Structure 1
Amino acid sequence: MLEVEIYYELPIFEISDVVRLPHNSLQKFSLKPVGGGSYANVYSYFDENYNKTFALKRASKTISSKDLERFYLEFDTMKKLYSPYILEVYSIDKIKNEYVMEYADITLFKYITTHNQKLTFDERKSLCHQIIRGFEYLSDKNILHRDISPNNILIKEYEDVKIIKIADLGNVKLSDSVLTSLDTEIRGAFNDYSGLQRVGFNKYNFYFEGFALSKLLYFVLTGRYRDFTKFEYSNLEEF
């Protein structure tokens, strides 16, 4: 079982009716693997201080310098965002190359494929509307995700509602970004590869984002992941 050390710096309050917590406490937590990608792995752990489960994203020991730049850019970008549809990140350790973030229960891909036969149209429509609002928020911030896929969209399950969480912004394109060296390799399962190969990944714009987003919405509505040649859906007009 893997373990992670979380270092707390907790202020000591002077008000008499508050609880005093130990200062600079160092605690170890058992890590449970929950997923991974090309250059990082994700774990979950339970923090008794907060009575809550968190996720930890840790860069691979063999990560390239370019991918490490992506890793830091992902954290810095997500740290500036505040939307219920964007996965929240909390703190980063640049010595261990890992950061703590909000825990979500399941990927959109696994949720849809597991429940595809029993999901109602209203449930699918709710998920789609949340996805659209999340990407509208990113667009308002002049941010392009560039790696849209059902594995990079998570779902946080509450007792009364399921909330979409957009994650994995390692390929994000910012309007003021100077990291042009990161724009050479095309990534993203739903991207228009033929179009991007013609113009270059650095020319990725809202047209390409919309192309991938339409595939994602179609997947939510139909459960189809690969065959997009037959764009048929009886409730499409109602949607």
Structure 2
Amino acid sequence: MNASAHNNIIYQIGRPYEQHSSINGVREVLILAHNAAFLEDRIKALPWSAALTPAAAQAHLDIGEVRSVDRGEPVLREGASADFVYSIADGALTVEKGRSAGDTQIVGFLFQGDMFGVVHDERYSYSVRATVPCELLALPRPAFERICERYPSVQRAMLQMASNELAGAQDHLVILGRKSAIERVSSFLLMLSERNSRLGYPAETPIWLPMRRADIANYLGLTLETFSRVFTDLKRRGVIQAQSMRHVRVRDVDGLRELAEKC
């Protein structure tokens, strides 16, 4: 298998054959997953995996595809037919919307366990691209909707996902409503730190920032120069510590919260 084919591998769950297919104009290879443990691990990445009955889990296995995508590769495009629902098994993605000026606005970042592609009409209302190499569990929308109708646990999880998505949109509006750049950057880092806490990670766990600094600045409504200046200032204050290019440890959560709420 050549490198370009490998970049678009889809592990077709429950189908013991290999074939070629074209999805969204991209040539991809469908191959059988290597073993049952591989598939089960990907199902566990579903946000509602703990609530799945064995029958519901098998239903996901029957319809699901594990897709590998490269950094920068588009997963779905705004305005395209909403054919699939996705859950992130590994990696991170960037969510963006087109603007009337012809450029794009970053409206969110997605991480392992997050879900996207759930829409109320027939077309996606946003675009999503891989921030880093990712593995996604893709579920055909019609089949997934039938699973939602059949299994109450999945319905409840979908309601929770909708609530989380609304909360994320509200968080973004709150961040953009902050007056100063340091409030915006502090709010963003605090949001990611609190996400770590909700997932049960220890307080000293660094924040993972796989996205480009320019994308973070876009999300916050700042120039790259302003974001870099504020980030350096937060390090100087001792509120955060950069452990690598992609990992930041919050050293003073209370101090960060104070800066986020008023400066």
Is this a same-fold pair by TM over 0.5? no
TM-score for the superposition, normalised by structure 1: 0.29
TM-score for the superposition, normalised by structure 2: 0.27
